């Protein structure tokens, strides 16, 4: 399926301009004085830039140029690449050279434009999710929600817990409404054909993460994966039963059409024998029921959800709609994703790519868990949740670019290591905001044909 063109998201501006500050009252503590001085400095900075128009990013310029070249065409939106304003970092938290270069080029070339206006931009994310779209404006509400997820983030505690996150995920994934009774019916069916494989994996799920182990029980993870296995098993059986019937019906219609055509020309027609059940099974691509690694992919859903049924609805939608290729057949979608990691890295950082190739290190060796689990295998879990907010808002396929971003972040460590395989054996602690910033810079460098491959690799 061809992917529609990238829809740019204009650059985010800093917060709204501060009003003119009055001389502050005498603070009672030095802490209050520092806070007031900081606010006064920020207010002065905003006042100095009050008449400077906002400026979009390079990807916005590219989209504007496309619109100018094709003024009568109606753009079709797909998961795009938002930009995010970040405050200045300390030297101990400095961004890599790639991000500095991207920011410098963007600042030098971006023209002025107005701040983007969304139909629900005046509402909080919580209110958009709770009350739904106003006046039936579903598209406007969705765009506002996506923007707020990336611009403001989802409010959560230090451990990543949030009362609204799972509902934001369900909306962004477009998960259907699921009755709790339907989930319970799957549980009451007992052990699925994949039950033994599930039990061999669940006890090893995020064993080093105390937050996950404290909140999610192994029994809960077993129930969720077993229910998923039942639904996938049912889908497989339905495909097996309906496949031969569909094939025979199609062949019969073709035979009748050809027979009629040939009869009109006075020739005999010998209909082609329809596919038998065995031949259909040989030609069909069989969906998977359970593959190793699905336990790690399911873990963040159970951690963020307020019930197993909610986690099931979100997880099942992700597997069957966004990345069915990850669990189908020989996991072809995962292998396509790994090949794309190598391809994107060669585009973004040829030196690093050549160094890894010379060492015999392809993405198949070190990035398989990161591709399959959408980086859920890299701790800490609260950062995984924040990264997934970004992925679900603008497409889980962007996980491929996020993996490349992590490689560029640790490039110095890789290039200076005589044995980079040891470095890549376990990625550094995940920093969601940094990974998102680098990912946005990388997206701008990816050609459209390669980006289309990324969008469709998991289908």
Inside any domain, residue 369: no
**pLDDT(71) > 70:** no
**pLDDT(250) > 70:** no
Which tokens hold the place of 35? Answer: 């806070």
Q: Do residues 9 and 151 touch, judged by C-beta distance below 8 A? A: no
**In angstroms, what CA-CA distances link 99 with 258, 442, 457?**
61, 9, 26
Which structural domain, as residue segments, surrounds residue 247? 188-321
Q: Do residues 289 and 236 touch, judged by C-beta distance below 8 A? A: yes
Q: ∠ CA(271), CA(276), CA(280), 5° rounding?
A: 115
What average pLDDT does the chain have? Answer: 75
Residue 11, CA atoms < 13 Å, CB-side half-sphere: 26
Q: Helices (H) and strands (E) in the chain — how many of each? A: 23, 0
Arithmetic mean of pLDDT, 63-86: 43
Share of the chain above pLDDT 90, in %: 53
pTM here? Answer: 0.69
Inside any domain, residue 250: yes
| C-alpha–C-alpha distance, residues 12 and 371, integer Å | 29
Inside any domain, residue 382: no
| C-alpha–C-alpha distance, residues 286 and 240, integer Å | 9
pLDDT, tens digit, 9 for 90 and up, residues 340-376: 999 999 999 999 999 999 999 999 999 999 999 999 9
Who contacts 92 (Cβ-Cβ below 8 Å, separation ≥6)? none
Query: Beta partners for 113?
Result: 54
Task: Count other Cβ atoms within 10 Å, centred on residue 62.
Answer: 14
Instruction: Report the domain count for the chain.
Output: 1
| C-alpha–C-alpha distance, residues 374 and 384, integer Å | 9
Q: Identify the residue with better confidence: 298 or 19.
A: 298
| C-alpha–C-alpha distance, residues 428 and 323, integer Å | 25
Residues constituting the chain: 459
Q: ∠ CA(348), CA(353), CA(355), 5° rounding?
A: 145
The pLDDT value recorded for residue 240 is 83
Inside any domain, residue 302: yes
Where residue 98 falls among pLDDT bands split at 50, 70, 90? Answer: very low
Inside any domain, residue 355: no
Inside any domain, residue 284: yes
pLDDT, tens digit, 9 for 90 and up, residues 110-161: 333 344 566 777 788 888 888 888 888 888 888 889 989 988 899 999 999 9
The pLDDT value recorded for residue 329 is 80
State the DSSP string of 87-146: PPPPGGGPPPHHHHHHHHHHHHHPPPBPPP--TTTTS-HHHHHHH--GGG-HHHHHHHHH
Inside any domain, residue 221: yes
Which tokens hold the place of 214? Answer: 């404290």
Q: Do residues 277 and 320 touch, judged by C-beta distance below 8 A? A: no
Neighbour-count burial of 422, counting CB atoms closer than 10 A to its CB (0-12 exposed, 13-18 middle, 19+ buried): exposed
Q: ∠ CA(202), CA(206), CA(208), 5° rounding?
A: 130
**pLDDT(205) > 60:** yes
The pLDDT value recorded for residue 248 is 52
């Amino acid at each position: 399926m061809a992917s529609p063109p990238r829809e740019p998201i204009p650059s985010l501006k800093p917060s709204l301009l501060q009003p003119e500050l009055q001389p502050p009252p005498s603070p009672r503590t030095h802490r209050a004085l520092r806070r007031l001085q900081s606010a006064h400095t920020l207010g002065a900075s905003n006042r100095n830039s009050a008449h400077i128009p906002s400026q979009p990013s390079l990807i916005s310029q590219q989209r504007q140029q496309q619109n100018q070249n094709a003024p009568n065409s109606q753009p079709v939106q797909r998961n795009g690449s938002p930009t995010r304003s970040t405050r200045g970092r300390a030297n101990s938290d400095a961004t890599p050279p790639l991000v500095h270069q991207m920011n410098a080029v963007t600042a030098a070339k971006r023209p002025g434009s107005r701040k983007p206006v969304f139909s629900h931009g005046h509402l909080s994310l919580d209110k958009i999710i709770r009350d739904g779209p106003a006046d039936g404006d579903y598209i406007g509400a969705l765009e506002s929600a996506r923007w707020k997820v990336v611009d403001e983030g989802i409010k959560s505690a230090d451990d990543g817990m949030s009362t609204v996150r799972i509902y934001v995920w369900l909306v962004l994934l477009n998960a259907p409404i699921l009755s709790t009774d339907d989930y319970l019916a799957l549980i009451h069916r007992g052990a699925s054909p994949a039950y033994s494989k599930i039990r061999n994996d669940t006890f090893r799920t995020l064993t080093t993460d105390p937050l996950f182990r404290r909140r999610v029980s192994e029994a809960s993870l077993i129930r969720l994966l077993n229910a998923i296995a039942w639904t996938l098993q049912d889908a497989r059986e339905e495909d097996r039963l309906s496949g031969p019937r569909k094939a025979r019906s199609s062949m019969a219609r073709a035979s009748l059409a050809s027979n009629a055509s040939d009869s009109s020309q006075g020739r005999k027609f010998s209909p082609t024998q329809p596919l038998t059940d065995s031949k259909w099974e040989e030609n069909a691509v069989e969906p998977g029921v359970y593959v190793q690694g699905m336990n790690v992919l399911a873990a963040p859903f159970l951690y963020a959800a307020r019930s197993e049924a909610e986690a099931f609805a979100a997880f099942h939608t992700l597997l069957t709609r966004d990345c069915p290729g990850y669990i189908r057949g020989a996991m072809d979608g995962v292998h396509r994703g790994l090949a794309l990691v190598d391809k994107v890295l060669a585009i973004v950082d040829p030196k690093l790519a050549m160094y890894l190739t010379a060492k015999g290190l392809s993405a198949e060796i070190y990035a398989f868990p990161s591709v399959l689990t959408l980086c859920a295998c890299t701790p800490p879990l609260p950062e995984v949740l924040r990264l997934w907010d970004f992925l679900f808002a603008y497409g889980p396929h962007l996980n491929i670019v996020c993996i490349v971003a992590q490689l560029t972040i640790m490039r110095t460590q890789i290039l200076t290591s005589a044995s980079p395989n040891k470095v890549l054996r376990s990625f550094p602690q995940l920093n969601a905001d940094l990974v998102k910033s680098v990912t946005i810079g990388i997206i701008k460098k990816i050609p459209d044909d390669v980006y289309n491959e990324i969008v469709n690799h998991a289908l």
